[in-house]
Each structure stands twice: as C-alpha cells, then as structure tokens.
Amino acid sequence: MANPRKRKGYYLEYRASDDDSWYSVRLVMKGQTMTVKYEGYTEECDEVFHAGDFKSKEEVDELVKRFRSVSPQMQDSECGSLKEGMIVCVGCNAFGGEDMLFYDAVIEAIHNVDHSFCNGEEECLCTFVISWLHGPKKGYLTDTGIEGMCILKGVAQVGPKIASFLKLVNRNLGKSSCMLTAASKYEISASEGSSCENGGSNLSMISSFEASFHSTNSKYSRLWEDDKDLGGQCPSSHFMFIENLERNLLPLSFRDFIHEHTSVPSQAYILPSPSMPYARGIIVVDSEDKRQKILQFLDNPAHLIVSSTGRPLVITERKLRHGMIKMWSGSYEPQDMCLVMDKDLMVVQSGTEAYERAKKLKDLFLEFMSHQRLLYKKFSVEEMMLLQTQQQFNQIIDV
C-alpha cells in the first residue's frame, strides 16, 4: 500500500520477514521494546521486538542485517551512473495486485539507447538486465527500465535507536564481553540524522544487509580489475584474454599457432589453475590493430579453435585492455615435466562434425562461466553482509 507523501522520521529501511521485501520504516523505543512502524501501513502491521526475546548472537545478527539507511530513487537523467555488476534495489510486482515490492538485484547487462525529451522532461529508454538476489524471483534474470530502481550508496551504520536496543539485548544476554564488542568511537548521525530525498519512493532503498553496496560492488569490481589489469597503463601494450585452454598447452605453441594464421607477432601466457581442468591465456601485442586482427581470427563464427582433444578456445573478454605485463618475465612452463605437452591447436570449420561437437562444448563452458559469476556475486554479497554485521557490533559501546 503505497503512501504518496513522505513523512518525517522514516529514515531507515527494513527487510520484512514475511515477504523479504524492503520497506521505509521508523523506530519507536519504549522501555525494553523496539517497534518497527511501516510507512503507509496501519499499526496492525507493526513489528515489535522485545530485548529479552533474543537468545543468541545469531538472532541478534539476523535482526541487525535487516536494517539499512535510505537512498533516493534513480532519476532518468542519472542512468549513466549505473554500471554492470552494480547492486541496486528494484520494484517488483511479485504477487500481483497494485503494490510494488522492492528487492535487491545485480545489473548483469545494460542496453543503452538515446533518451527522449518531451516538454523539457528527460525520459530514460534504456534497458537493464538484472539478476535478483532475494525474493520470489531470486536467481532469475529480468529486464527492466530505470523506473522503480534505487541505487545503493554510502556505508550503512547502526542508528542510535538500534544501538540502544542492542545494548539492552546485550545486557539481558549477560555476555557483553563476547556477544557485543565495545567500541570507543561510535557515529550515530548517518542513519537518522539526514532528511529524505524529494521525489523518492516510499520504499527507497539503501543498505545494511549488503551494507555499503557501493563498497561491495567496488570490492567485486576490484577483484576482477586486479585479475585483468596486469600492471600500469601503457598504450603500447594491448592484450586479450582466452579461456578454456588445455592446462599443458605450451605458450610457444600458442604463439606460433597465432602467428601461422594471422602473421601477427605476439606474446602468449598460459595461466593454469590448480582447481580447474582448464587454463586461462593472455595474448599481448603492441597495437590495437594487431589485437583486432587476432580477435577476428580467434572469434570468427565460421570456425572454432580447438585443442588436440577437442576442447574449444573461448573468448569472454572482447573489450580493449591496455597496460604492461609485469607479473611474468617469461612464459609459464609447467613444473611437472612428466606431463605430455599439448602442442596442437587446430581450426575446425562450420558444418563439420568436429565443429558441432566443439560448439556444444563451448556453449556448455559459457553456461558454466555464467553460473560461476552468479555464485561469486552471491558469495560477495553474503560475505559483505556478515562482515558488515560484525562491523556494526564493533560500533556499539559496551555498557
């Protein structure tokens, strides 16, 4: 039941236990009781917590991670700030009816189009592919517009009312030394000291359970950037990433194969992982034209590149990357010299049985990579959730 008017005091969001959706709320403290009041809903919908009802640290953790500070709804002119991999909160008509419920999701892809302007008002026509992190559509992909989307900002902090209630819980548990860690410094202004943004949804979203999703997203992005960016910026070095190579493929064989089919000199690196049956490769050249020529050969839909066992080479990174390779002074050489080195790469043409078999293996690998990315994002979110909960406890002054 949406409330068209913002009311004073609704400076927090709470993830309800019945539908797992985020709502704007305010807190009322009375003695040993904390009441969660939903904006736009009657008192019958209030949730009441008693300090004496908590029996373990896990129960306290579960409560704390359900609160977060507010964030304004995205405006049409702000769509340029949305990036792939960011975590946002999006309206979802999950159960029918008129109400929109809000759940967190990861932006998987963005289809940018020109905005329209009518009577001086800008309208975003872009499409965003999102993967839901919780709620009834958890794990599913959906395309949506910017309407009903809220960007996550800042670092969520335990507000003064939550802190006061947790100190009561701590006292009742009688385990202040181990349940809640004392902190000499505690900031209380952020969660309840700021005013709501004009024009925001009454269910505007921002984090505590994924506390600081910008930080979460930055962490996630940095992990991949560190993996990709192999040194300082250097416009003379251009590189591309290859997946699903044989672990025993020699870098020299890979380099010679590329030169044979493209006449482009390059450097090749093979990076096997102990936990994976395949290796990752990096090809480095000194110009973008050369990189594009190699890419056109390796990623040509008329054929596939396969190993002697039929494993297809896969390119998952097509964007321009440039920099200096500083991690290796030379190509990787397998330490186990008893391995039989795979020196053979071959081209299989479309229409052949070998091509059809390799195409199925390639599609299977891409499906695996997509699933792996989703799992990593889930891990990143849940890890941050646990770490943030501990951080919030560390902000509470032990009584």
3-state secondary structure 218-254: HHHHHHHHHHHCCCCCCCCCEEEEEEEECCCECHHHH
Residue whose C-alpha is closest to residue 326's, from 239, 220, 259: 239
Q: Do residues 99 and 21 make contact, with C-beta atoms less than 8 angstroms apart?
A: no
- Beta 345-349 vs 67-69: how paired, if at all? unpaired
Find residue 133's DSSP bridge partners. none
Q: State both tokens at 114.
A: 């020109």
**Residue 36: its pLDDT value, please?**
93
What is the predicted pLDDT for the residue at 393? 64
- The angle subtended at Cα 293 by Cα 247 and Cα 271, nearest 5°, is 20
Residue-level pLDDT at 357: 93
Q: Give the integer Cα–Cα distance in Å for 320 and 305.
A: 21
399 residues of the chain, pLDDT tens digit each: 333 334 567 878 889 988 899 998 999 999 999 999 999 889 999 999 999 999 888 888 888 888 887 877 899 999 888 988 888 999 988 766 667 899 999 988 888 888 988 888 899 999 998 989 888 888 888 888 998 899 876 545 567 888 889 889 988 887 443 444 333 233 333 333 333 333 333 333 323 323 333 333 333 333 333 333 343 334 457 878 899 998 888 888 888 899 999 999 998 888 877 678 888 888 888 888 898 999 999 988 899 999 988 999 998 765 544 443 443 333 344 433 333 344 478 999 988 999 999 999 999 998 888 888 788 777 777 777 777 666 666 665 444
What pLDDT sits at residue 241? 86
Q: What is the pLDDT of residue 178?
A: 40
pLDDT at position 249: 86
Q: Name, in order, each residue with C-beta under 8 angstroms of 170's C-beta and a sequence gap of 6 or more.
A: 176, 179, 180, 396, 398, 399
Which candidate, 202, 133, 172, places its Cα nearest to that of 381? 133
User: So what's the pLDDT on residue 390?
Assistant: 67
Q: How many C-beta atoms lie closer than 10 Å to residue 255's C-beta?
A: 19
The DSSP call for residue 44 is G
pTM of structure = 0.46
**pLDDT for the residue 321:** 47
Distance CA 38, CA 36 (A): 7
H runs (alpha helix) in 16-56: none
Predicted pLDDT of residue 316: 73
In the numeric block, the tokens 């949406």 are attached to 2
By the 8 A CB rule, do 145 and 88 touch?
Answer: no
d(CA 182, CA 396): 6
For 33, the 3-state DSSP assignment is strand
388's enclosing H/E stretch is helix 353-394
Query: How many other C-beta atoms can be found within 10 angstroms of the C-beta atom of residue 177?
Result: 10
Grouping H, G, I as helix, E, B as strand and the rest as coil, residue 196 is coil
Q: Which two tokens stand for residue 200?
A: 């925001």
What is the model's pLDDT at position 392? 64
For residue 74 the two structure tokens come to 């995205």
pLDDT at 239: 79
Of the candidates 281, 256, 269, the one whose C-alpha atom is nearest the C-alpha of residue 345 is: 256
